[in-house]
């Protein structure tokens, strides 16, 4: 399919395999048939290790494989990116700027109230600092 001069760049931050399945399948109906490009991002909390990244890359490649398979089936171009950062929300926002993303799309992950209180509030960081639309869609059933 020929690309038009208007193309939508969507950033999809994905945390793990379950998040990848939920978010990609939930976003797909909104993106199918549109002239868009998906940038899949996985943020590793912390600094990039100096040594062996094998275990991290193996886990992240599984996430990327799920996303790529989902969007390839709909003929939607996908790029993948691993970033390291101490502030996950800020790292996502920086990636959105780097990709000139027109929107950030995510699905909420189920977490206990205690886990939310003890962890970074990525959604709050995104919601209060985002320059592009932040689209939160429910996970597909």
**72-126 pLDDT, tens per residue?**
999 999 999 999 999 999 999 999 999 999 999 998 876 555 555 445 688 888 8
**What's the predicted TM-score (pTM) here?**
0.86
- Identify the CATH number of the domain in which residue 77 sits: 3.40.50.620
Residue 127 has pLDDT above 90, yes or no: no
Q: What is the mean pLDDT of residues 15-28?
A: 94
- Is there a domain that residue 107 lies in? yes
Instruction: Tell me the C-alpha distance between 104 and 2, whole Å.
Output: 25
**Position 138 confidence tier, pLDDT thresholds 50, 70, 90:** confident
- Is there a domain that residue 119 lies in? yes
**Which token pair is 32?**
């199918």
- Is there a domain that residue 103 lies in? yes
User: Total domain count for the chain?
Assistant: 1
Cβ pair 131, 90 in contact under 8 A: no
- Is there a domain that residue 61 lies in? yes
Instruction: Supply angle C-alpha 36, 68, 34, rounded to 5.
Output: 20
State residue 131 phi and psi, 5-degree precision. Answer: -100, -15
**Full domain range(s) for residue 99:** 8-136
In percent, the amount of the chain with pLDDT more than 90 equals: 65
- Is there a domain that residue 1 lies in? no
């Amino acid at each position: 399919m020929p690309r038009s001069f208007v193309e939508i760049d969507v950033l999809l931050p994905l945390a793990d395999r379950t998040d990848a399945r939920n978010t990609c399948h939930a976003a797909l109906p909104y993106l199918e048939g549109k002239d868009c490009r998906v940038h899949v991002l996985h943020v590793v909390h912390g600094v990039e290790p100096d040594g062996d990244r094998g275990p991290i890359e193996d886990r992240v490649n599984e996430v990327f494989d799920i996303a790529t398979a989902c969007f390839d089936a709909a003929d939607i171009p996908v790029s993948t990116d691993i970033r390291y950062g101490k502030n996950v929300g800020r790292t996502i926002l920086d990636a959105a700027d780097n990709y000139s993303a027109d929107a950030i799309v995510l699905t909420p992950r189920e977490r206990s109230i205690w886990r939310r209180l003890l962890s970074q509030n990525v959604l709050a960081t995104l919601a209060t600092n985002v320059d592009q639309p932040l689209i939160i869609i429910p996970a597909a059933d």
